[in-house]
Amino acid sequence: MAKSLSEIESEARQLSTKERARLVRRLLATLENEDEGDVEQAWLDEAERRLAAYRSGETTARPAEEVFEAILSRY
């Protein structure tokens, strides 16, 4: 039978600080690996959407210098 989250947490709290840190890094790495593909795909989808909008004339482009100047003038 699988342990409950509270049981796992209780056991993890008994580890040394160094062991808990290593466990946290390993757990975070598993999340990062799973999410990376989703995030990367989302950015690819967004880039393709923006390119299609530009090519169809739905939106226009501005030089980067103009965009950065506008941002800097606000702040």
Between residues 31 and 73, the one the model is more confident about: 73
User: What is the structure's pLDDT at 37?
Assistant: 67
What is the domain partition of the chain in residue ranges? Answer: 10-74
pLDDT at 1: 72
- Locus of tokens 């299609």: 52
Q: pLDDT band at residue 71, thresholds of 50, 70 and 90?
A: very high
Each residue's pLDDT tens digit, 4-55:
999 999 999 999 999 999 999 899 888 776 656 677 888 899 999 999 999 9
Q: What is the DSSP string of the chain?
A: -PPPHHHHHHHHHTS-HHHHHHHHHHHHHHHHHHHHHHHHHHHHHHHHHHHHHHHTTSS----HHHHHHHHHHH-
pTM for this model (two decimals)? 0.45
- Cα 49 to chain centroid distance, Å, stands at 19
Of 2, 3, 7, 8, the closest CA to residue 20 belongs to 8
